[in-house]
Amino acid sequence: MHAAKLRPWSRRSPSVKLSAQINGPYLFLLYYQVQTRENDTLPRLPSALSSVILLLSVTAPLSARAERVLADDDSCECYLINNDQGTYYTHHRFFDFRNLSEYAGVPPVIRDAASSARAEATSDYFLSDEWKTFWMLNTWNNSASRRADATVAMVNSPNNVYIEASTEATPTSHTWLTLRTQRLAGFQTAAEFETISDRFKYLSIRMRARTVGAPGAITALFTYRTADTLAEVQEADLEIRTSDPRDVLHYTNQPSYTEAGDVIPGATINTTMPGGREWTSWATHRLDWTPGRTTWYVDGEETASSEFQAPRDESTIIVNAWSDGGIWTGNMSRFDAAYLQVQWIELVFNSTARRNGPGGDEVSKKKVRRGGERGCKVVCSIDETPLLGTPVLLWESGAARRLRDGGIVAWVPRAVVLVTVLVATGLVG
């Protein structure tokens, strides 16, 4: 990943900020004094009250909301997310696919199923430490687990995961990561990658993405824990069906059906993109998995939340684009294709991994307690940062230095000044 540069507290000089905040109370005082000299009917302000206004104007900058300080992940001991102050996360990762022109290129589709599964990575990016220490490309097929209603064989291929250059007239990124699925003469070629680690336990993951292409496919982001029986599967997912209207989203805490094929009520929430948005346009999809609950968002707006069958145990993270010609996916026409395009993925998470391994993260040394005390002295946020992918400091060394609510401590000297002046001038006893 690219190292982010730390930025100073502010680009404005302190003198500019000070004068901007003094002007309000101070100019009111000057204006009122002028008016009382010209109009005898207006009561004159007591000298003590004038002093209070002047002192408040001087101390006003102290109450301004504290500006966030950019931090790096080595400094952050844990992370909080907005809309949930009860879960602390020990790790943060950011995968940025927006400026990878050196790896861009659309590979031709491999039309033989066996060769497709054996394909090499489409660029050196997928051989880099950034990628291969966290993600892996999948090559499995559905020959051993074909759904009863599936009408076509499906094969995942590394050839269908690639960096693509933008050709848009006004692009929001130079490149993006693409997952491709296409119906061929004898099979459906698909795309999937997942985390190397299967030890994630609670997370908040965000993906800036869009889905485009023909009807008959699914694009998805989900957590997954495999099991010996369907009833024991744990999965929290976001799915988009390209056969649906372009604003429909499906959120599910699996399983959503029984071995007998009966639907499990309450497992799935079908909803729509907020504000008239469509999934064919860029949007930030977010999944929060917290103890006993999963919550989904689009562009910061909560779209669904469920406690029913929320995952309980360690899981993997998976992203895919696929079809098997069944009822759920729809049957894609021959040689049609659909694509999941991703600008970036960001997540904060906890893990039960005990040592450095294929996942590239060591977790056990970060002992986090609810409330952030003792084991978590430096708390950061990825939601309140002005620089995507770089966290900001929320507070350090406990609640006394907390900055989240902005200026709590800064109000103390201002209040002391006010009370002191009022007592000294006899306005209060």
Which pLDDT value is given to residue 417? 46
Backbone angles phi, psi at 286, to 5 degrees: -135, 140
Dihedral (Cα; 317, 319, 325, 329), 10-degree rounding: 90
Q: Which residues pair with 76 in a beta bridge?
A: none
Are 406 and 398 within 8 A, CB to CB?
no
| Banded model confidence at residue 266, pLDDT cuts 50, 70, 90 | very high
Are 220 and 240 within 8 A, CB to CB?
yes
User: In a 10 Å sphere around its CB, with 0-12 CB exposed, 13-18 middle and 19+ buried, how is residue 267 labelled?
Assistant: middle
The residue with greater pLDDT, 400 or 213, is 213
Percent of the chain clearing pLDDT 90 (strictly above): 67
Model pLDDT for residues 350-386, shown as the tens digit of each residue: 999 875 444 444 444 444 444 444 578 999 999 999 9
Which pLDDT value is given to residue 86? 83
Examine residue 358 and say whether the peptide bond preceding it is cis (omega within 30 degrees of 0).
Answer: no
Which pLDDT value is given to residue 238? 98
* Cα(82)–Cα(381) distance, integer angstroms: 8
pLDDT averaged over every residue in the chain:
82
Instruction: Please state which CATH number belongs to domain 91-351.
Output: 2.60.120.200
Model pLDDT for residues 98-131, shown as the tens digit of each residue: 999 999 999 999 999 999 999 999 999 999 999 9
| Banded model confidence at residue 7, pLDDT cuts 50, 70, 90 | very low
Are 189 and 110 within 8 A, CB to CB?
yes
Mean pLDDT score, 59-67: 49
pLDDT of 144 over the 70 cut: yes
SS3 assignment for 285-307: EEEEEECCEEEEEECCEEEEEEC
The domain spans of the chain are 23-64, 91-351
Model pLDDT for residues 153-180, shown as the tens digit of each residue: 999 999 999 999 999 999 999 999 999 9
Mean pLDDT score, 13-30: 42
* Cα(385)–Cα(258) distance, integer angstroms: 43
Q: How far is CA 287 from CA 197, 351, 427, in A?
A: 18, 16, 55
Tokens of 3: 């190292």
Name residue 191's amino acid.
A
* Cα(349)–Cα(328) distance, integer angstroms: 30
Which pLDDT value is given to residue 253? 97
